[in-house]
Chains A and B, each alone.
Chain A
Amino acid sequence: MPDKTITIRATRFDPDKDQEPRLQSYEVPFFDESMVVLDALNHIKAHIDGSLSYRWSCRMGICGSCGMMVNGTPKLTCNAFLRDFWPRPVTVQPLNNFPVIRDLVIDMDDFMHKLKLIKPWIIRKQELPLGAGEHRQTNDQIDDFRQFSECINCMLCYSACPVYGLNNEFLGPAAIALARRYNLDSRDQGLKERLPHIADSEGIWECSFVGECSVVCPKGVDPAKAIQQTKLDTTMRFVLPYGNRE
């Protein structure tokens, strides 16, 4: 084992045995400056304790599977470098605001349910036949929604959102940002189908603009902006009867 090591304190919780989650410390060799927290977890799993459970997949900030609390902040563990923490220990816990299934694995059913509600796909009133050609867009039309389309559903924003933590009926940052992504898309005609969920009291109006969702987003999406802009648009739809209703 190399001289340089780092202490990883990971949450352990087995619902069949444990009453409460507990932290367990592991000494992990820190042999490469490019090592990330996920590498350390993989080392623990492969060489120290094979029973440690966590989600991961792509290791390059695309799949959104490896979100966890790293020293109290929601982060993608594949994008949290050990060099930023060493020589201090790194505490890895499951994402806040979600039920824990086991160790670092959270139950994401609530998020998946909310994601489905806002129908994050292009809705057309009438599908055109393939022979009619593409739905063309200008660069400006793409720029309208581009940043909201970067969301990878990692749920870090839900973990950072105290409103969701206090009331898990709240539709939440990522779902609303994705709804806005499709509502701003010039090819989409599904606003009326999404509106009942977005404009609901547990939708945009539950948000009090803490803004932490946008701070923790690893892809530079600004869900807080999406929510506030949707509030304004929804209000304008209400007060301007001949305004932008479609």
Chain B
Amino acid sequence: MPSTWWTRTRHYFLYMVREFTSLPLAIWLLWLLFDISRRSLVAPGAFAVFSVIALPFALYHSWTFLTLAGTIIHIKLLDRPVSSRLIVMSQFGLWIGASVLIAFLLTWLSK
């Protein structure tokens, strides 16, 4: 298997993009944990810039993850299978709800 296997098809390439987008997200989280452990921001400007860079990666990764949930989760309600579309929509709904709640709490705590 050549190391360039992921360039063979568009599907393989998108898979690699999906997997790669977790890397900036992981680095961002490690940076955040490091700052939390020191109880101060080491380089606030650089962290803000990196946060902006990492945001589209995080959004893309979350989008792919939540979209795939429709394939993975299979549940029945009242003996009827719940459609994957409904599962995906509920995942996105929960994601948006959680984001709004966290944004509200952060804004409220910073006052």
A62-99 to B contact mask, C-beta < 8 Å, 1/0? 00000000001100000000000000000000000100
A229→B5 CA distance, assembly (Å): 26
B79 partner residues in chain A, CB cutoff 8 A = 140
Interface check B34, CB cutoff 8 A: no
Looking at A9-17, A20-28, A209-217, the stretch in contact with chain B turns out to be A209-217
Contact A215 to B11, CB < 8 A, known contacts A162-B6, A165-B5, A229-B74? yes
How far apart are B111's CB and chain A's nearest CB, in angstroms?
A: 40
Q: Please tell me which stretch of B37-45, B48-56, B65-73, B91-99 contacts chain A, meaning at least 4 of its Cβ atoms lie within 8 angstroms of it.
A: B65-73
* A225 in the interface (beta carbon within 8 A): yes
The docked-state distance in angstroms from the alpha carbon of A236 to that of B79 is: 19
Question: Which residues of chain A have C-beta atoms less than 8 A from B5's C-beta?
Answer: 162, 165
Whether the pair B71, A225 counts as a contact (CB closer than 8 A) is: yes
- Given A140-B79, A162-B1 in contact, is the A210-B73 Cβ separation under 8 Å? no
- Chain B residues whose CB sits within 8 angstroms of the CB of A210 once the complex forms: 11-12, 15
Shortest beta-carbon distance from B60 to chain A in Å? 16
* B9 in contact (CB, < 8 A): yes
Interface SS of A by simple majority: helix
- Give Cα A68 to B62, complex, Å: 36
Cβ-defined contact, B68 with A228, below 8 A:
yes
Let me know if B1 and A212 touch, CB within 8 A.
Answer: no
- Is A232 at the interface (CB under 8 A from chain B)? yes
A229 B72 Cβ-Cβ under 8 A: yes
**Contact A211:B1 (CB < 8 A) given known A228-B71, A232-B73:** no
A132 contacts the other chain (Cβ, under 8 Å)?
no
Cβ-closest 4 pairs across A and B: A165-B1, A228-B72, A210-B15, A225-B71
The interface of chain B, by Cβ under 8 A from chain A, is: 1, 5-6, 8-9, 11-12, 15, 19, 68, 71-74, 79
A residues with CB within 8 A of B: 72-73, 97, 140, 162, 165-166, 208-212, 215, 222, 224-225, 228-229, 231-232
Q: List 19 A-B contacts (CB under 8 A).
A: A162-B1, A162-B5, A162-B6, A166-B1, A209-B68, A210-B12, A210-B15, A211-B15, A212-B12, A222-B71, A224-B71, A225-B71, A225-B72, A228-B68, A228-B71, A229-B71, A229-B74, A232-B72, A232-B74
